[in-house]
Structure 1
Amino acid sequence: MKFGFVKSVLATAIISASASLWAGTTVQPVQTTSSAQQAQKKSGIETQYFDSSVSEKDDFYDHVNGLWLKNTVIPADKSRWGTFDILHEDSVNQLHDIVDELSKQQLAEGSAEQKVATLYANFMDEKSIEALGIKPIQAEINNVDSIKNKQQLAQLAAHFSRIGVSSPFDVDIWQDMKDATQMRAVLAQSGLGLPDRDYYLKDDAKFKKIRSQYLTYIEKTLAMAGDKQAAQHAKDILKLETQIAKAQWSNVQNRDVQKLYNIYKVEDLAQLSPQVDWQAYLKGQGLADKIQTIQVVQPSYFKDLSPIVENNRLETWKAYYKFHLVSDFSPLLSKAFVDNSFNFYSDQLREIKQQKPRWKRGVQLVEGTLGESLGQIYVKKHFSAEKKQRMEQLVQNLMKAYQQSIDGLDWMSPATKVEAQKKLASFAVKIGYPNKWRDYSALEIKNNDLVGNVIRSREFEHQYALNKLGKPVDRDEWGMTPQTINAYYNASLNEIVFPAAILQPPFFDMDADDATNYGAIGAIIGHEISHGFDDQGSEFDELGNMKNWWTDEDRKKFKEKTEVLVKQYAAYEPVKGYHVDGELTLGENIADNSGLAIAYKAYQLSLNGQPAPILDGFTGEQRFYLGWAQAWRSKITDAQQIVYLKSDSHSPDKVRGNATLLNQTPFYDAFKIKQGDKMYLPSNKRVTIW
């Protein structure tokens, strides 16, 4: 249960602890901040980064961020650097302080704090790791070598799934898409070593070069594991993965939630893909006695997988699994393995030139393993009650603005508006941190056993997911830790979640006036709310069930608007020869445009009819849009941008910063944008949805 495929489809992030602030309630009256109070606050606009040589009427994003873009160098250990990354770096430093402090204390054996300190110390013990070389995974290599026939591959795939090693398919446990009160096992495609199927199938020069480098990486990885036929096996593996890529659904196809819900009886899997021993696989996953049916996300993939299994030699499959085993665990092994992995996946694939310091990698390992244990300490140190209260006020205003916006839509019928309001009133909002924290007591962390600890942690997560079957859905659970710089909407729970760590400047500044905060965190709040009504979220009702609550005519009008948005964004070419995929990014683009529009209305409501103060020479309306543009400030390598263009549902940051503004009529008024300006889009071509 490594990949969380359905979660990635239904839980949509901004990039990606009141648990039920809005659940089952009606929208509350708007709370406001007086102009006199706001005048005491700073503008929150970082004018030192403005580039006066670029007109705000021609390129708003570069005007607001130009000097930062010109003078900032992406750190050598990064492929991108911007507002989210800077806050992430701050979060890592804060977590390091926590871990370092714990490491100096006498901690109770078996406590979560002791497990944090031990896991970190194990990772930092380079001398012991270096002496072990490949030994920590030698037993797993022997396990692959012991396979005698293809029937045993299913059991191996199940075992590798439990310990986090890539396989052509994987199982997750998620809410039933048509009954959000129940948990269901879900089977989906997986198993590629490159970021997306296009890396195998497209013949442009960049992808050809990556494939050549990947082939070299496979061969070296196998050779380091003792494979005497590494060169031939590498060619066989690349050929095999190319066949898998051809069979897989594209990211755009995977956005059609209606086509993802395919329920099969367990015994019928043998007809779908007869070359896989499904009984052995499900038994190995711990599911054999727990389920009678399973959701198959991409049925045609599993139909095509059967001949792929049949037509490739057992030797090739064993080499495939051995390669992914060593590759996936390389960051935890000796320096030769770490460097080999970094050279391909970071340097060649993403243009990252320097490995992160070991302590950062150690902190990130602990965060990914015992994240909520760190989160409890993090929120005590870095998240105040005042932030939570002000965020609740912002959310109230956004919800009120959405309520009014739905009532005022000229393209939606009264019948559909009733259902939309019902869904809006049922939103759950989670701010800062969970009401209850994860219990890690069943996870065993041993001293001087780094790889063993990681394997046990992955098996622990696997069992944690399995334990959800047959039990009520836990609506208090969080999908991110409080120290995560992100936010998300979850369609199955109809909830929006804002971790503590994102509630910092430039997204949320307690000392700044409302305009900038509404343009930044307000638009992010609006973004997440609107995911409940985007092309995917609108397929789910207020309870989180996939159900059509639209009239046919309303759905038709909605699709007409979104088709225009697809074309708008597809025109952008962030890297020469590589355009934004308007269909892949549609949901996020709807959310950006709708979230910013609703945030503007909420800001106007917050003024309560009073004029906004002029700060740093800017009106409130101008600061609102300046706050939006500076929130997306970032730089990125071309290689990483291509990875995102092929695999990420979000548009590039500069596109988000500029393209969204073209559809906002108040933006034109705020900055006097007129025909002939490059930021101008005729009113009849602007898209307004919510």
Structure 2
Amino acid sequence: MKWFAAAALGCTLLPFSTVAAQQGARVQDIDTSLSACDDFDNYANGQWRKQNPMPAIQTSWALRTVTQEETTAKLRGLLDEASSKKQAAGSTEQLVGDFYGACMDEAAVNAAGLKPLQATLARVDAIKDARGVQTTIVDLMKVGVRAPLDISSSQDAHAPLDTIAEISIRGLGLPDRDYYLRNEPRYKEIREKYTAHVEAMFKLAGYSEVQAKEATDAVLKIETKLAEARLSRVELREPKNTDHPMQFSELTKQYPGFDWAATYKALNIPQGKLNLSQPKLTTAFLTELKQTPVGEWKAYLRWMVLHADAAYLPTTFVDENFRFFGTVMTGVKEQRPRWQRCSRLVDSQLGEALGKKYVEVYFSPEAKARAREMAVNIAEQLKLSITNNDWMTQATKAKALEKVAALNIKVGYPDKWKDYSSVKVTRGDFLSDVMSTQSFEIRDDLGRIGKPLDRGRWDMTPPTMNAYYNPQMNEVVVPAGYLQPPGFNPKGIDAINYGAIGVTIGHEISHGVDDEGAQFAADGSLTMWWTPEDFEKFKTKTACTTQQYDNYFIEPGIHHNGKLVTGEALGDLGGVNLALRAYEKSREGKGPEATVDGLTPEQQFFLAEAQWRGALVRPEAARSQVQVDPHPLGKWRVLGPLSNMPEFEKAWGCKKGDPMVRAETCKVW
């Protein structure tokens, strides 16, 4: 089972003006016509939003989006340089330069049409029987098409030093099962438009009107059956719901109808212990293999190929894919420039090759040391909170402190870089390059099965503008891309660094003791280390946050699902509390920082949090996010935690009854 919580941003990119580093909070962004005690998100960001309306290519819009664009522009500079001259075969420069160059050659991609996919599509077309369906499903998985089977490596939840196989069933084109099953008008509308999109893609691939409709009917039939058996997003947040360890021999006996032995052999993975993430869904998949006609499976598999590779095909496919998944699903009006798409793609496909070049140029030892110091200080505050609280017994406190003491903090980039020497990339065949890098990642991942856990691996690339906590590894990871102005400046003042990036680090550290992380012990095992009485008290405290977010509406009739966002909301609440206390502790012996532009250090801290966290989101994207994303919308990541804090109330002179002062405050750490 794989679990990690990230501080999701949900931003797309565009060219924009450079974000200037400054010492204090960005007073020029504040809307002084508003009250800080009414809506602190609008107060802190209102003027910036007036001067910087959301561009057509954005799903969400925030100050950090601009910083994210700066990172993409830096990557483009590295890639332009690498692709502009002939590089030594197999070198990092050759890999990233030729991949980027092939991606940027839109004319060549258009001229090739579907030829690069012919071998894959021919494999689907050649299926004669149920056996052929199975072998093709496995062949597609080797090149990154989960249709719907996915086998990957996973840390053993009960023997955390071991790496085992994880078997999952995916295969949905829409983001979540509810899009297939619920009958409210907005879900029906999405299904209708998705049906039209699938038909359009089949037509672009050469199907007639009648053929496209028949194929689409088959696709929706299979996807709906899979959706019916899939756990809900809330159910998926409970670790025990996806914890089903067994031996390979048990898999073959309990889930017959698939040649598991041949599959393991084809993927070159050892037969041994594994985890089956969703047994009911696996049974539904096997039932469909048995009952659904081969012709319908062929249509589904062909769709899965087109869907998975749509972004790498000629412009007609790219545009149709964007029309539905960009405009319909998220409200974006225009597609990003190709250089942005290609830069991001190199980062996702060859992330540690490009990331190594990025940190050499843009990430200093000083930044790494300053960020690590902040993280250590924030973790110390969690220890103090555990030690001093009055609701946990000493037995549970000891286990909690053991977990925080074992926390591994990773900053910037991996100690050991990934070896891409087996990857083949050429300038002339973009889709083949994508398949080559995807196949490498799959081989690299499957190659870990049956081996001791490698704690040096990262789940994000160094230039990533994000961070995460992995409860099984008990680690916080903060990539270099996240550690830059205005959220972080190694030469900047503490109030801003702790208020922006410090809150993010605190958020991730808090995940170790949120409603999910609290179920994993210090060694990463899925173990109940609380006394039953203490865990009941803990659940009572988290219920306050669940109820709070259930009452945050994005529009009439649509609100956050408190149970879905509880973990991330607890991370936000814990993050800002821990970061503030760590900031105050860091000033001991130094004296308070100066008031800047009339703002006290505490006010600057809270402004930094709001200006880094706050974001506008398009209505279409917001509707999807509250359905599938465990993160609250940006607005509520400001208002939610800060309205629970007496320190915020004091810093801004708010009073009881103000919107930013909750009558019933929630607090855990």
TM-score (norm. length: structure 1): 0.92
- Is 2:627 aligned against 1:646? yes
The aligned residue for residue 467 of structure 1 is 447
Comparing 447-456 with 432-441, which one deviates more in the overlay?
Answer: 447-456
- CA-CA distance at 1:325 after TM superposition: 0.6
- CA-CA distance at 1:42 after TM superposition: 5.9
Letter aligned with residue 11 of structure 1: F
Three-state SS of the structure 1 residue aligned to 2:275 is: strand
The aligned residue for residue 35 of structure 2 is 55
Instruction: Give the whole-Å Cα distance in 2 for the aligned partners of 1:681 and 1:131.
Output: 60
The aligned residue for residue 149 of structure 1 is 129
- Is 2:617 aligned against 1:636? yes
1:491-510 alignment runs, 5 A limit: 491-510=471-490
The aligned residue for residue 20 of structure 1 is none
Instruction: Give the whole-Å Cα distance in 2 for the aligned partners of 1:547 and 1:443.
Output: 39
The aligned residue for residue 94 of structure 2 is 114
State which of 8, 26, 42 in structure 2 corresponds to 1:15: 8
Residue deviations 1:465-490 (CA, integer Å, cap 9, x gap)? 12212322111111111100001111
Comparing 550-559 with 151-160, which one deviates more in the overlay?
Answer: 151-160
* Structure 1 unaligned residues grouped into runs of 5+: 1-5, 17-40
The aligned residue for residue 384 of structure 2 is 404
Instruction: Give the whole-Å Cα distance in 2 for the aligned partners of 1:305 and 1:273.
Output: 10
State which of 556, 567, 575 in structure 2 corresponds to 1:595: 575
Comparing 55-64 with 672-681, which one deviates more in the overlay?
Answer: 672-681
Give percent identity, aligned residues only.
36
Asked if the contact 1:562–1:590 (Cα under 8 Å) also holds between the matched residues in 2, the reply is yes
Instruction: Give the whole-Å Cα distance in 2 for the aligned partners of 1:150 and 1:158.
Output: 13
- Is 2:257 aligned against 1:241? no
Letter aligned with residue 259 of structure 1: N
The aligned residue for residue 686 of structure 1 is 665
Letter aligned with residue 323 of structure 1: W
State which of 660, 663, 675 in structure 1 corresponds to 2:641: 660
Instruction: Give the whole-Å Cα distance in 2 for the aligned partners of 1:421 and 1:305.
Output: 43
State which of 582, 590, 597 in structure 2 corresponds to 1:616: 597
- CA-CA distance at 1:43 after TM superposition: 4.8
Instruction: Give the whole-Å Cα distance in 2 for the aligned partners of 1:484 and 1:673.
Output: 37
The aligned residue for residue 34 of structure 1 is none
Three-state SS of the structure 1 residue aligned to 2:233 is: coil
Closer/same/farther in 2, CA of residues 42 and 137 from structure 1, 3 Å limit = closer
Comparing 611-620 with 143-152, which one deviates more in the overlay?
Answer: 611-620
* Structure 2 unaligned residues grouped into runs of 5+: 10-20
Three-state SS of the structure 2 residue aligned to 1:584 is: helix
The aligned residue for residue 261 of structure 2 is 279
State which of 408, 415, 422 in structure 2 corresponds to 1:442: 422
Three-state SS of the structure 1 residue aligned to 2:525 is: coil
Letter aligned with residue 449 of structure 1: D
Instruction: Give the whole-Å Cα distance in 2 for the aligned partners of 1:474 and 1:142.
Output: 38
Instruction: Give the whole-Å Cα distance in 2 for the aligned partners of 1:458 and 1:646.
Output: 29
Three-state SS of the structure 2 residue aligned to 1:181 is: coil
Instruction: Give the whole-Å Cα distance in 2 for the aligned partners of 1:502 and 1:237.
Output: 40
- Is 2:358 aligned against 1:378? yes
The aligned residue for residue 232 of structure 2 is 250
- CA-CA distance at 1:85 after TM superposition: 2.3
The aligned residue for residue 13 of structure 2 is none
Letter aligned with residue 50 of structure 1: I
- CA-CA distance at 1:189 after TM superposition: 2.5
Letter aligned with residue 515 of structure 2: D
1:504-583 alignment runs, 5 A limit: 504-583=484-563
State which of 372, 397, 410 in structure 2 corresponds to 1:430: 410
Three-state SS of the structure 2 residue aligned to 1:583 is: helix
Higher relative contact order by CA 8 Å / sep ≥ 6: 1 or 2?
1
- CA-CA distance at 1:303 after TM superposition: 2.2
- CA-CA distance at 1:210 after TM superposition: 1.5
The aligned residue for residue 203 of structure 2 is 223
Three-state SS of the structure 2 residue aligned to 1:295 is: strand
Instruction: Give the whole-Å Cα distance in 1 for the aligned partners of 2:513 and 2:570.
Output: 9
Letter aligned with residue 400 of structure 2: A
Instruction: Give the whole-Å Cα distance in 1 for the aligned partners of 2:63 and 2:166.
Output: 35
Instruction: Give the whole-Å Cα distance in 1 for the aligned partners of 2:241 and 2:217.
Output: 34
1:237-316 alignment runs, 5 A limit: 237-287=219-269, 290-316=270-296
Instruction: Give the whole-Å Cα distance in 1 for the aligned partners of 2:588 and 2:104.
Output: 55
Instruction: Give the whole-Å Cα distance in 2 for the aligned partners of 1:75 and 1:200.
Output: 31
Letter aligned with residue 258 of structure 1: K
Instruction: Give the whole-Å Cα distance in 2 for the aligned partners of 1:575 and 1:267.
Output: 51
Three-state SS of the structure 1 residue aligned to 2:425 is: coil
The aligned residue for residue 14 of structure 2 is none
- Is 2:300 aligned against 1:320? yes
Letter aligned with residue 142 of structure 1: A
Comparing 599-608 with 78-87, which one deviates more in the overlay?
Answer: 78-87
The aligned residue for residue 669 of structure 1 is 650
State which of 488, 497, 501 in structure 1 corresponds to 2:468: 488
Instruction: Give the whole-Å Cα distance in 2 for the aligned partners of 1:217 and 1:351.
Output: 16
Instruction: Give the whole-Å Cα distance in 2 for the aligned partners of 1:192 and 1:489.
Output: 27
- CA-CA distance at 1:518 after TM superposition: 1.3
- CA-CA distance at 1:686 after TM superposition: 1.2
Asked if the contact 2:392–2:534 (Cα under 8 Å) also holds between the matched residues in 1, the reply is yes
Count, aligned residues:
655
Instruction: Give the whole-Å Cα distance in 1 for the aligned partners of 2:86 and 2:137.
Output: 41
Residue deviations 1:20-45 (CA, integer Å, cap 9, x gap)? xxxxxxxxxxxxxxxxxxxxx96521
Three-state SS of the structure 2 residue aligned to 1:480 is: coil
State which of 185, 190, 195 in structure 1 corresponds to 2:170: 190
Asked if the contact 2:237–2:564 (Cα under 8 Å) also holds between the matched residues in 1, the reply is yes
Comparing 49-58 with 370-379, which one deviates more in the overlay?
Answer: 49-58
- CA-CA distance at 1:511 after TM superposition: 4.3
Letter aligned with residue 496 of structure 1: V
Instruction: Give the whole-Å Cα distance in 1 for the aligned partners of 2:218 and 2:340.
Output: 36
Three-state SS of the structure 1 residue aligned to 2:297 is: helix
Instruction: Give the whole-Å Cα distance in 1 for the aligned partners of 2:84 and 2:132.
Output: 47
Instruction: Give the whole-Å Cα distance in 2 for the aligned partners of 1:586 and 1:273.
Output: 34
Asked if the contact 1:331–1:337 (Cα under 8 Å) also holds between the matched residues in 2, the reply is yes
Instruction: Give the whole-Å Cα distance in 1 for the aligned partners of 2:377 and 2:385.
Output: 12
Asked if the contact 1:539–1:548 (Cα under 8 Å) also holds between the matched residues in 2, the reply is yes
Letter aligned with residue 599 of structure 2: F
- CA-CA distance at 1:577 after TM superposition: 2.5
Asked if the contact 2:264–2:271 (Cα under 8 Å) also holds between the matched residues in 1, the reply is no
Comparing 600-609 with 491-500, which one deviates more in the overlay?
Answer: 600-609
- CA-CA distance at 1:272 after TM superposition: 4.1
Residue deviations 1:474-515 (CA, integer Å, cap 9, x gap)? 111111111000011111211111111111223213343211
- Is 2:375 aligned against 1:395? yes
Residue deviations 1:650-681 (CA, integer Å, cap 9, x gap)? 00000011011122121112122222211121
The aligned residue for residue 456 of structure 2 is 476
Instruction: Give the whole-Å Cα distance in 2 for the aligned partners of 1:530 and 1:216.
Output: 43
